[in-house]
Amino acid sequence: MHPEARLSLEGLLPPGRMVTSDEGDGDAQPLWLSDGPATAELWTRMHAEHARSGLWPLLLDSLDPNDGEFRPWGSGEVFPEQMTSPASHDPASLLAQWWVTYTAVDEDDMLDADRRLAVTAPFRQTWPGLAPSRKTATNPDHLAAEFAQAFLDDRPQTRLGLVAAASGAEALTAGGWGGPCNYDNDTATFSAVVRDWEHRFGARVIAVGFSTLHLSVAAPPANEHEALLVAAEHFAFCPDNIWQGSRPCTLAAYAERITSAHRWDFWWD
């Protein structure tokens, strides 16, 4: 946290500390972490202060809230030094490349080919392109505050994090989050896609866990065709949502679940 930001928020913040990355020379302190649980009122107040403070509030979940370390945040398992800039990545190209990778059929595993292709029907191995932008009368920030309250109702041990970033998408990289590292070590690629969703669907980053990401969405897909296209983006972004999701694990079933849904949740194995 920059000294100027700390001063601007004096009197508003509960007890907390700067988190130091456990890699590098010890100078990187990518986020501030509250000592105790967050409240919806605190998140909303910090969100309203963002334009002045430059600090984006995140609700931070832990791998195990009872382990005392509050991983990865409290343990310093954050690696901003390893990441590029989200601005250096094209989200459409990333999604198309990921789609090709995750729909590829291994010639040594042909018994599984039919199942793999069935998962991503009707598109199968052909990338369908981006879903169109949607507009809504719903205020994205009001919806974000409602989601923050609902998230905290479910996970009362969640803490507040503050990251110097222009948006929630960029806060993922600036904060050094490594949740999808089993797929890509550079969180900036995921930030680039989320930043695009912020513009196209009124998405807002609300909460982040060890390997989870939770967004509010002001303008979700409203019909089957739009939902299938968005589902394809989600599969490319986080294939475990469908590969390891609730049954049936198909793109069509997933699309049905996200039609008109105002929250998107992601989990990487």
Q: Is residue 144 part of a domain?
A: yes
Q: Measure the CA–CA gap between 56 and 44, rounded to whole angstroms.
A: 11
Q: Is residue 100 part of a domain?
A: no
Model pLDDT for residues 141-182, shown as the tens digit of each residue = 999 999 999 999 999 999 999 999 999 999 999 999 999 999
Q: Is residue 101 part of a domain?
A: no
SS (H, E, C) 22-80: CCCCCCCCCEEEEEEECCHHHHHHHHHHHHHHCEEEEEECCCCCCCCCCCCCCCCCCCH
Q: Is residue 49 part of a domain?
A: yes
- Can you give the residue range of the structural domain that contains 180? 3-87+134-215+262-267
Q: What is the DSSP pairing of strand 16-19 with strand 55-60?
A: unpaired
Would you tell me how many other CB atoms lie within 10 Å of the CB of residue 83? 20
What are the structure tokens assigned to 100, written together?
């090709």
Q: Is residue 92 part of a domain?
A: no
Domain count of the fold of the chain: 1
Q: Is residue 252 part of a domain?
A: no
DSSP percent split of the chain into helix, strand, coil, nearest 5: 45, 15, 40
Q: Is residue 128 part of a domain?
A: no
pLDDT score, position 111: 47
Would you tell me how many other CB atoms lie within 10 Å of the CB of residue 53? 21
The stretches in the chain having pLDDT less than 70 are 1-10, 23-27, 106-115, 245-248
Q: CB-based burial of residue 31 (10 Å sphere; 0-12 exposed, 13-18 middle, 19+ buried)?
A: buried
Q: Which residues pair with 265 in a beta bridge?
A: 214
Burial 204-238 (b: 16+ CB within 10 A, else e): bbbbbbbbebbbbbbbbbeeeebbbbbbbbbbbbb
pLDDT score, position 105: 74
Q: Which residue's entry shows tokens 């009197």?
A: 11
Q: Is residue 151 part of a domain?
A: yes
Whether pTM exceeds 0.75 = yes
pLDDT score, position 8: 56
